[in-house]
Amino acid sequence: MRIRTGYGSYSTLGCVLLTIIAAAPVAVDAQSADLNPAKMPRLGSVSERYQSFNVEMLEVTGGKFWAPYNQASEHPPASVASNQSTPAGMDPSLYRYRSPIDLTNPRLRRMAAALGPSYLRVSGTWANSTYFEDAAQPQLAKPPAGFKSVLTRKQWKGVVDFAHAVDAEIVTSFAISPGVRDAQGMWTPVEARKFLAYTKSIGGSIAAAEMFNEPNFASMGGAPKGYDAKQYGKDFQAFESFVREAAPAMKVLGPGSVGEGQPLGDAVGIHMLRSEDMLAAMNRKVDVFSYHFYGGVSQRCVRPGTTALSTPDKALTREWLFRTVADEKYYAKLRDRFDPGKPIWVTETGETACGGNPWAADFIDSFRYLNQLGVLAKLGVQVVMHNTLAASDYAFIDERTLQPRPNYWSALLWRKLMGTTVLDAGPSPSADLYLYAHCLRGRSGDVALLAINADRSESKEVSLPMEGERYTLSAANLMDNKVDLNGQALELTADGNVPALHGVKTKRGKVVLPAASITFIALDGVKNASCQ
């Protein structure tokens, strides 16, 4: 049988082409093919907390975050306006003030808990310049010199309590702004020490931390003027030595860079440091190699004269769906050079940088979301943290209504069905159909299949040798923030609870996958040796 790749759309990516072809499913000239789940070989495994999420530090403290496209700009009360600022080099009009997130909200907790166990990452650009007010007094009217925002004890205790309630382990980062530096400009643990001590005093713990958020974008991230890779190396040595003494159980993540596998820095017009130079200057080892991934920037941040990489007409293309592979290859190569054998985590990712596009909240983005989870698991990534749980256009949950968006339902199905053992589903039977398989969560020997039909006009077929339960996500309009499961609208129950998700029986033989749909199939009686 003649094999074709169908990767013509990658011609503009130059040397990235071969790495993407190697990782993406191969399509063959056939409309259907027999799959044998019992013989699918084991590729590896992922963390039990593989699918995780971010709550930005700015959400916890309150402040100006990415302004939703469909809401008028709002301004902070005069009493807190001076506490907030936008990142260096960014247009202030792109942001809208948010009051601190209510992490005690029962509905939010129930929805987050349904995705557990998970990691809860509280970080982001604003965390780099956040002062921790380690006192019982009311919040400062103005942050101290060298900081841009204030985190109170009450706010951080809310994070710790939320993590306990939703079965999440906390991941974070620390302040690196001028306020934590000595007379020679070196990073000191003045903030980190009291932050860790208070966390422990209230029964909390921090599972893992990056030194600071996206150090290769230091110029917009609150670092001192002229910050370079050499200074990062000195700072990291001080940070790593402090952590080993003060919090030896906490995993050190790093470097947590973004946008080097593809020209994200060029897209926003901001100079980036090179992770290669930073890693060389560190002269220290991390416990986990981390990076962030965005396939492009949202339309609010596209520079005049440049073209957006993400548009609705491109959202289901092979080129867009597999951009995540290029960055994984880039950072995996750096991992192999500087920290061989260490696990890789993606500690921040979403539809696009700068808060996501208007359609990030619609069903059309679920193809990217689930394909990214599927392909990164095959490549050996251990954890993927979605940005965010409930803030801006790319969030799982609408921040105002607390209604789940399509990506939330996608995440919920992944959590229900896809176990930690990753299998090789084999070649796809047709173009624009992407197949992934894991051991079925909670059932010995059985297999969960994920079939993503990204063809907008044609159905696809797979042939299965056994019965199973089918869960098909679809929408009458891809650009809708509502989604159906097996033809029925997905929504919370009348009292705001997350409903049980039920499949429909599917017989052995050919299974039709509708155009522009996503299907999970829980297969019965497989007896795959890797799943027992």
Measured CA to CA, the distance from residue 272 to residue 262 in angstroms comes to 12
- Decide: 359 and 479 in contact? Cβ < 8 Å: yes
Report the pLDDT averaged over residues 144-150.
96
Residue 93 banded pLDDT, cuts 50, 70, 90: confident
SS3 for 427?
coil
276 half-sphere exposure, CB direction, 13 A CA radius:
6
Report the pLDDT averaged over residues 107-118.
98
Note the pLDDT of residue 80.
Answer: 40
Least confident of 84-88, 275-279, 325-329, 396-400: 84-88
Q: Say if residue 234's pLDDT is above 50.
A: yes
Strand locations in 490-529 (E): 504-506, 509-513, 517-523
Measured CA to CA, the distance from residue 397 to residue 405 in angstroms comes to 6
pLDDT, one tens digit per residue, over 435-463 is 999 999 999 999 999 999 999 999 999 99
- DSSP H/E element including 265: helix 264-268
Note the pLDDT of residue 136.
Answer: 86
Domains of the chain: 3-43+422-531 (2.60.40.1180), 51-60+101-419 (3.20.20.80)
Q: How far is CA 233 from CA 170, 257, 265, 282, 333, in A?
A: 25, 14, 21, 4, 20
Residue from 371, 465, 447, 461 nearest 410 by CA: 371
Per-residue tokens: 513: 């996958």
Burial bucket for residue 167 (CB in 10 Å: 0-12, 13-18, 19+): middle
Note the pLDDT of residue 82.
Answer: 39
Note the pLDDT of residue 31.
Answer: 54
Q: Say if residue 370's pLDDT is above 90.
A: yes
Residues sharing a CB contact under 8 Å with residue 228, sequence separation 6 or more, in sequence order: 273
State in Å, rounded, how far the first CA of the chain is from the last one: 34
Q: Is the dihedral of CA 306, 308, 313, 314 positive or negative?
A: positive
Q: Average per-residue pLDDT in the chain? A: 90
Measured CA to CA, the distance from residue 206 to residue 215 in angstroms comes to 20
Q: Say if residue 10's pLDDT is above 60.
A: no
Note the pLDDT of residue 441.
Answer: 98
Note the pLDDT of residue 263.
Answer: 67
Report the pLDDT averaged over residues 177-192.
97
Cβ atoms within 10 Å of 323's Cβ, excluding its own: 25
Q: What percent of the chain has pLDDT over 90?
A: 80
Residue 75 banded pLDDT, cuts 50, 70, 90: very low
- Decide: 65 and 59 in contact? Cβ < 8 Å: yes
Residues sharing a CB contact under 8 Å with residue 39, sequence separation 6 or more, in sequence order: 528
Note the pLDDT of residue 78.
Answer: 40
Measured CA to CA, the distance from residue 192 to residue 211 in angstroms comes to 10
- Decide: 465 and 508 in contact? Cβ < 8 Å: yes
How do beta strands 130-133 and 149-152 pair?
Answer: parallel
